[in-house]
Structure formats: structure tokens, C-alpha cells
A and B are shown apart, each in its own frame.
Chain A
């Protein structure tokens, strides 16, 4: 993992995408997140909105944009559940902010770095989700830590596959 100097940070390319990609990618993530578990049952260990949030936060390298995208996707993800709206919102807001902040400082084009980042941010998201549930709201929800770990691993693998696909959609000069 290479930490960049201030000059090198300015040289980092800020990725741009067509407006349709900004609209359809999060929507597709939400729809597939709601639809695929029907086919996979208990093995639906992934969080596609998280992957999309991290990708755009890393690519845009803007903490505000990453924060807002994480917040919106998290809120919509909450709205599809029967839980309180804002639990995933808080988790993904923090994840979007951190991903964009890391994207400013670290070269994240490397697949291994992306994989590790997604893994750690997935664990962080799960931890925040449980923290908000149990300690902030005081709700009696038993976490399944094995499933959370599995989700982080699967998210990393999906990200390795999906990120190159998103890279192709960039607007290149």
C-alpha cells in the first residue's frame, strides 16, 4: 500500500462517469440486493449498496459525495427492511466518508488494496450496524458474527469482479 505525497495526491485522477451510471448503478444495487436473496436463501452474504458506495467514494475522491451516497443508499436499504430507518444509513455514511478519505491518500487502483479495503469497510459497516442497534437504540438483536465475516469476504470477491466493470464505464479524456 503506497501512501502518496501532497503533490501526488493532486495528480490523482478523479474519475467521472455518465449521469446514467450514477443513477442506475445504485438502483441496480438496491434491486439486486432485494431480489437475489430470494434465489440464494441464507447464503445471500453480500452487500451490493456498500460495494457501490465504496467504489464511487474511491473513484470520485470526494468525502462529501461519498458521505451523501452512503447515506442515501443506506437509508433506502433500511426502507426495504422492517427496521428503523437510519441504521444502515449511519453505517454507510461513515463508510462512504472513510472510503473517500482513504482514496485521497492511497492509490486504490490496485486490486489487492481494493479487496482489503472492501473487506475492512464491510466489517466496519457490520460493526456499526450492530453498534447502532444494540448500544445506540438498545434493541435486543443477536448478531451472527460468522455471517458478518462471510459477508465481508464475499463483498471483497464481488468488488474484485465488479470494480473493473465499473472502470470501463468511466469517461476518459
Chain B
């Protein structure tokens, strides 16, 4: 057995390492609701630890290279130039080289100052709270469009924060390390942003294709979409605020995977290949300028004064309502108040008819000359001519609907 392990130790080591990595890979993917396999957007503890190690290993040299104004390429080019020229005139070349260095540094400083000034101007007029950051590295892979910025947990960056420039959106924060962070660009195949076409108002999802071009997928063929149309963020993805420029439509191609659908290739507004500085939106709470804040405070004050005036008017009307007689009866519940009665304001009174009418029955005392109980004493009947139909006191007790002829039989009883 020992000889087996000794003899096949090379392939055994290979198999062991491959097996370990394949198991590790299997733990990082999961099947989504749509049935497709996808990577877990949040790294597990072990995976994040490896990423932290890699970042701790690679970021400091990257930061060093970035912070030196010349950089490794510049040093290498000038080193070879210097070696060639030094043989001819070393002193003179050193002087020239120093001047070139200073000039390049000044030029680079001037350009950087212009860029930062433009970005500062954009940031000042932008409503959201942002953090400026500089690009210090990339993923180094064609299949992974990821950049590394020099800000991380030290400025409270978080997962899924939007990253923009003055020109347009760039991507989102994918992972945050102590002093750096990964940005997933919008032209990566696994990215996704809700976008809308400005004039046609067609919505879609923006993601990258195999060659790193952003494209809008999942939209039906529509002849209205023309090259040059502006594309904006739709604001429904909870990452990018609504209305930020994304780019312009470059061309429209047929979706090879779905019949009847098209893919809209977008030329990004931000120069994704030449990024130096970006802004990370750390809060979508509006950040107003002093003038805007003053306007808002004035508006709030006016609004408060109107509210006080409305309240006083309401109080006065309540006092008036209490003082009006007959409209509010303190002995009745609120729903039976006359003030709340919306029925006919002139109701018809119906007097119930007795089962056995007698002479005291209203309407049956015509000509008796005797006053009805509880009625006012009438003038003497002899002095006034008798009316044939109208009974005494009919003005107050006779039913308005009862015909006069109905009373005649009762008088004969």
C-alpha cells in the first residue's frame, strides 16, 4: 500500500487538489428559482477569507503603484531610455530626465486636478451623499469586469452601493474590504441594472455580453428603438437612483436565444476602460445646498402658518354650531340630531285612524258645537255661518289626506 502512494503520489496530489476545489465550487453555487445555476452573491465565511487574503496581498502593491505618479510602466520605459542615452551623455540626460519627470508629474497633477474639479462640481450639484474614490486595480480577467477602489469599510462603504461618474453609472459595490472595495461594472455578464429608454419609455435589464459590451436584454422587438436614443436608470432595482445616464443605444440585434426578442447594445456614457476616479453613492437621502435648504425651510414655515389658520377657522365654526338653537339636541344621540337629518325637510304627517271612531274622533265632531278636549274655545257657532264640511279644529287635527266624504257615515251612527 505504501508503495502505491509513493508510486502514484503525483496523480494522487493532483486528484486531491482537484477534488477539494470541485467540492468548494459546488458549495458556492446554488439553483435559483428559475432553475438556472447561479453564484451566491454573498460569499460564505471561507470564501470571503480567501478574498480578504488576496486583497491584502495584492492591494498594497497596487496602491503603491497607483500612488506613485509615474507607475511601473513609466519607470520601465524611462529606465530603458535612460540606459540607452546615458552612454552618450549621462549628465545631460539626467537633467533632461529630471525635467521630464517633473513635467510629467505636473501635467498629471494638472489633469488630475481638472478631473477632480469637474467631479467636485458634479458632486456639489448632486442630491445624494457620495464618497469619491480612486481606481487602484482590476480583477485581471477578461471574464470578470471588476475594479478595485481605494475606499472600503474605513468610509463605511457597503454591498450594492451604486458607483457613478459625472458621465454616467459605472457599476455597484460587490465586496467591501477594510481599505478597498470591489466594483462590479455594468458591462459584466453577471451584472444587472434596471434601465429605461428615454423617448420610447421601454424598460429592460442592462448586463454585459461576452465581449464586455453593455446590452439591454429581455425586451420585445420594437422598431421604435433607434441608435442614439438615450438610456437612463429606471430606479426599480434598489441600487441605482432613477434618471441617471447610462449611455446611448449603439445598435439593435436579434436575441439568438429567444425568438421575438432583441438585444439593444448600449454605448456606455461613462468611460469604463479609462476610469480613474468614481463616486460611490452612500446614501440616497437628498442632500440639499444651503439655498435649497433655505427654500424648504421657508416653505415649511408658510405651510405651518396655513395650518394654524385652518385650525382657528375650524374652532370658530364649532363654536358657532354650538350656539345655533334647534340644530343640536343634547337629549338625542349624535346620529338622530336634527342637524344630521338629511331626509325631506317638509314631511307629510300621517295621523293613525281609530278602530272605533266616536264623536270625539277628530273629524267626526262637525256641528256639535262642543270644543274638543285640549283645543281652544271657538267663538259661538250661532254667530258664524256653518260650513258644510270643514270640522271645528280641522286646521290642527284633521288628517290632510282624509277625504271629506268619509266623515258622513260616521255622523249617522
Contacts and interface: CB of A to CB of B under 8 A. Distances in A.
Contacts of A52: none
Contact of A64 (B13, B36, B175): B13
A34 B37 contact: no
Contact of B54 (A79, A97, A138): A79
A81 B140 CA distance: 8
Given A68-B17, A84-B29, A45 B142 contact: yes
Contacts of B21: 71, 75, 86, 89-90, 93
Contact of A67 (B13, B57, B138, B139): B13
Interface stretch (A4-12, A113-121, A142-150, A164-172): A142-150
Contacts of A79: 50-51, 53-55
B148 interface: yes
Interface in B58-75: 58, 61-62, 65-66, 72-73
Contacts of A101: 10
Interface in B280-314: none
B143 A141 contact: yes
Contacts of A140: 36-37, 189
A82 B182 contact: yes
B120 interface: no
Contacts of A141: 143, 189, 210
A82 B37 contact: no
A151 interface: yes
A1 interface: no
Contacts of A75: 21, 50
B372 to A, nearest CB: 101
Given A82-B146, A87-B25, A141-B189, A38 B58 contact: no
B25 A38 contact: no
Given A79-B53, A85-B51, A141-B189, A27 B22 contact: no
A3 interface: no
Given A38-B138, A68-B17, A89-B21, A144 B210 contact: yes
B37 A138 contact: yes
Contact of B140 (A42, A67, A68, A80): A80
Contact of A139 (B38, B58, B188, B211): B38
B12 to A, nearest CB: 9
B14 A81 contact: no
Contact of B14 (A89, A97, A139): A97
A132 B54 contact: no
B177 to A, nearest CB: 11
Given A81-B144, A140-B36, A93 B54 contact: no
Nearest to B37: A138
B385 to A, nearest CB: 112
Contacts of A33: 140
Nearest to A143: B210
Q: Which of B36, B138, B148, B188 has the most CB of A within 10 A?
A: B138
A41 B147 CA distance: 12
A123 B186 CA distance: 28
B137 interface: yes
Chain B: number of interface residues, binned into ranges: 35 or more
A42 B273 contact: yes
A94 interface: yes
A150 to B, nearest CB: 9
Contacts of B174: 82
Contacts of A151: 142
Interface string B19-62: 00110110011000000111100000001001101110110011
B142 A81 contact: no
Contact of A35 (B9, B65, B190): B65
Nearest to B31: A138
Contacts of A67: 10, 13-14, 17
Interface string B181-192: 010100011100
A76 interface: yes
A85 B62 contact: no
A27 B54 CA distance: 10
Given A31-B58, A144-B210, A71 B17 contact: yes
A38 B13 contact: no
B78 interface: no
Given A67-B14, A80-B140, A82-B174, A139 B39 contact: yes
B209 interface: yes
A39 interface: yes
B161 interface: no
B212 interface: yes
Q: Which of B58, B65, B73 has the most CB of A within 10 A?
A: B58
A1 to B, nearest CB: 22
Interface string B129-167: 000000101111111101110000000000000000000
A140 B190 CA distance: 9
Given A42-B212, A84-B47, 12 more contacts: A31-B62, A34-B58, A37-B140, A38-B138, A64-B10, A68-B17, A76-B50, A82-B184, A85-B28, A93-B17, A97-B14, A138-B36
11 contacts: A30-B54, A35-B62, A38-B137, A42-B211, A45-B142, A79-B55, A80-B141, A80-B146, A82-B174, A97-B14, A141-B143
Interface of A: 27, 30-39, 41-42, 44-45, 63-64, 67-68, 71, 75-77, 79-90, 93-94, 97, 101, 129, 132-133, 136-144, 147, 151
